[in-house]
Amino acid sequence: MGTDTHISEHRAADHLISVFEAQIRSGALAEGDMLPPEREIVQTYGVSRTVVREAVLALSNKGLVQARPRHRPVVVKPGYDTALNVVQSIVGQLLDQPGGIRNLFDLRIMMEAALVREAALKATKEDIQRLKTALMANEAATGNSEAFFRTDTAFHGVLFEIPNNPVLPFIHRAYTTWLAPQWTQMPREPQRNQRNFQAHKRVYEAILHRDPDLAEKELRAHLAAAWDQVCITFEGL
């Protein structure tokens, strides 16, 4: 019931954390800056090194600073790049849930179906040109499974870029960085690559003809086939 957030009680580190977080967000600590040495923070804020280290560690885990061992922590502006790491760990957790793979895959289908609809309705000439370029690269790579995988994700990536919403490429990156390790070890015969390319081509042509229903249909068929591949590869369903 009680959705936690009982931050009621106070640890000394929490204060330090919020102080630095504010300094980072306000720009007092710019990106690339280094945090002061631990002993200096100790003197400045009158706390023990224990607390300082705890606070810095928390900032590091929050992604606000990047702390390599034996190096001073470096400030990183919170943004899409820093968020990516966290999202990836989230995706990992979601995948561990029962049916996680299927659920995330379904979600991807839903999102990408919506994407091709939008693309069919609102893609600019430049968008379509980029799609075509990606498609041609995809075709050229049907013989090389490794290269085909790259051009495959690139083609889908263009779809995520069309709505001009930076959150979408972000999601795509989070998804593919999970996918990549699993996908690459799947057997990919050239004939299957050829079939996938043809599917991409049909989606592209539906977008070209400004037919959202057809684009969605082709996209869903393509991803359903991809899911079958996944199923065959990982017996676990």
Partner DNA sequence: GAACATTTTTTGTCATACCAAAACCGATCA
Partner DNA sequence: TGATCGGTTTTGGTATGACAAAAAATGTTC
Contact residues for a second copy, defined by CB under 8 A: 3-6, 8-11, 25, 50, 53-54, 57-58, 61-63, 66, 68-70, 78-80, 82-83, 85-90, 92-94, 96-97, 99, 103-104, 106-107, 110-111, 113-115, 118, 163, 165-168, 170
Cα dihedral 81, 82, 87, 88 in deg (nearest 10): 80
CB 38 within 8 A of CB 52: yes
CB 172 within 8 A of CB 154: no
Quick one: what does residue 165 bind among a second copy, DNA, none, with the CB cut-off 5 to 8 Å set by partner type? a second copy
In whole angstroms, the minimum distance from the beta carbon of 102 to a second copy comes to: 9
85/93 with CB nearer DNA: 85
In whole angstroms, the minimum distance from the beta carbon of 230 to DNA comes to: 39
* 3 phi/psi in degrees, rounded to 5: -65, 90
57/87 with CB nearer DNA: 57
In whole angstroms, the minimum distance from the beta carbon of 155 to DNA comes to: 41
The dihedral built from the CA positions of residue 221, 226, 228 and 229, taken in this order, carries a sign that is: positive
Using CB under 7 A as the criterion, which residues of the chain lie in contact with DNA when the complex forms? Answer: 10-13, 35, 37-40, 46-51, 53-54, 67, 69-72
Q: Is 113 exposed, middle or buried (0-12, 13-18, 19+ CB in 10 A)?
A: middle
Quick one: what does residue 37 bind among DNA, a second copy, none, with the CB cut-off 5 to 8 Å set by partner type? DNA
- Cβ atoms within 10 A of the Cβ of 4, count? 5
